[in-house]
Structure 1
Amino acid sequence: MSLLPAIISLHDVMPHTLDETEELLADWLTDIPPERVTLLVVPGLNWQPAQLDRLREWERQGYELAGHGWIHHVRRVKTLYHCLHSILISRRAAEHLSLSENELVTLLNDNYHWFQHHDFKTPELYVPPAWAMGQLDTAALQRLPFRYYESTPGLLDSQQNRFRRLPLAGFEADRRWRGPCLRTWNGINRVVAAPQRPIRLSIHPFDHRYHLAHSLRRWLSRVQPIDYRSLFDSAAPASRPGNATAL
């Protein structure tokens, strides 16, 4: 059986999830080269020097660090869409929603400069919590310091103004009813995936303890990790997003 190309990311790397992150890297992702795993870091929390040193060690080993919101928690819910999104998908994680464009510009700039301030490599990728970009269209993203942006539909290279629609699989089944929902979602996305359309494996810090842990293990054994940048280096088809709906 041929392996399915996959982009692998470990979400919600925060001070209080470092032990779980370490466990996943050491026990679940041991066969994945570090340079093929992206760690999505939430900067705006109470990071202590020893915790920052753990991030630096992972970066030294080859893991890529990327931006992932600021506090990963909603300050307020102002719209019906955000309310429904919170109930059905994100709970209180989609902090981009109900923030203005100016607030989001500040958030992304603060995220980017946090890495610089703490002597990490300059991040190229930004992934909003729950993949919800909010009121930032492609033109706004092109003025911000990150090059790549991931959202629910796929991945944007803002420098080339190219967008790749990509299937997405997740495993955060912390409630029993989420297991069947995610299995169905992952099954549909597995059908959509192809050698020229890699799937994204989205792993959260406690997934190895939740109801889809065995499913996660199977997925990891059946994929070939790739670098997300290669999506835009090839001649694979890509669209050119013109507005926020593509994100």
Structure 2
Amino acid sequence: MSKLLLASIHDVGPRSEAAVDQLCDILGSHLGALNFAMLVVPDHWGEAPLASNPAFQAKLRGWADQGVEMFVHGWFHKDLAEHTGMAAIKAKHMTASEGEFLGLSRDEAARRMADGRKLIEDIIGRESAGFIAPAWLYGAGAQEALAQSGFKLAEDHMKVWRPDTGEILARGPVVTWASRSVGRQRSSRFFAGLARHALGFLPKARVAVHPGDVTVPALISSIHATYAAFARGRRIARYADLLDSAHTAHGPARGAAA
């Protein structure tokens, strides 16, 4: 089986439109056409509602028509919960108040998932690819809601899985960048450089970019180098291909026609 490359643009919405356009050009130059996923935020920080922006809705539909997979990426993306224990450590060190689904109850997480799904699917005129929590962070309530949500795919830092069964479809750290401080820029560039050599063995590699990346020329250079490296010798894949591969590996369901 050939090795795969899965690519994605996070935090897509009216607030990040210019940066997303730039990232589309960057990824397209390495992947060919629009062979990547977008993670769409319905109302980023409560300041950029998709529902009242028909021009951006039209762009989303156009991208989807050209083959971009659309994931529901939270609702606000902003984390307003008070955290204790390990969740507090994650909220402080892994994200800057961006882990919206880290502290939500099951019912609130389920409501935001369902509302985001309906909005985005109505806009693009087709089923969404799945759900990915902001900052890849899921609390217990979000995990419980996700298992009952009907989404076909979910993703965190270390894996892609089927929410309904828990089956893991891809393993290994996602390669991504952080732009919010010089220290994080340097560390993410270091990890990307290491990953280009050390993670070549992964059968399914994931590389994700964020709108803030385009504000730092050194990150743009690292992104170009990383996509170029991972694209060599790999098939540019869709997340949906993971479901197809799992079905092929397991064979037809028991009792199904061969």
TM-score interval, normalised by the smaller of the two chains: 0.7 to 0.9
Flag structure 2 segments of 5+ consecutive residues without an equivalent.
Answer: 250-258
Q: Residue type matched to 2:31 in 1?
A: I
- 1:127-182 per-residue CA deviation (whole Å, 9 max, x = no partner) reads 10010121147664332121100012201123554113222111223321113322
Identity among equivalent positions (%) equals 24
1-structure distance, mates of 2:66, 2:41: 20
Flag structure 1 segments of 5+ consecutive residues without an equivalent.
Answer: 239-247
Aligned-residue offset at 1:116: 3.1
> Residues 92 and 34 (structure 1 numbering): CA distance in 2 closer, same or farther, change over 3 Å?
farther
Report matched runs for 1:1-247 at 5 Å. Answer: 5-34=4-33, 36-44=35-43, 45-47=48-50, 48-136=53-141, 140-159=145-164, 161-163=166-168, 164-187=170-193, 189-190=195-196, 191-196=198-203, 198-210=204-216, 211-224=218-231, 225-234=236-245
Q: Secondary structure at the match of 2:182?
A: coil
2-structure distance, mates of 1:22, 1:150: 23
Partners of 1:35 and 1:64 within 8 A in 2 = no
Aligned-residue offset at 1:123: 0.4
User: Greater helix share, 1 or 2?
Assistant: 2
Q: Secondary structure at the match of 2:7?
A: strand
Aligned-residue offset at 1:232: 4.2
2-structure distance, mates of 1:94, 1:222: 30
TM-score, normalization by structure 1: 0.83
Structure 1 runs of 4+ aligned residues shifted over 6 Å read none
2-structure distance, mates of 1:135, 1:119: 30
Tell me the C-alpha RMSD between the 2 structures: 2.6
* Number of residue-to-residue matches in the alignment: 234
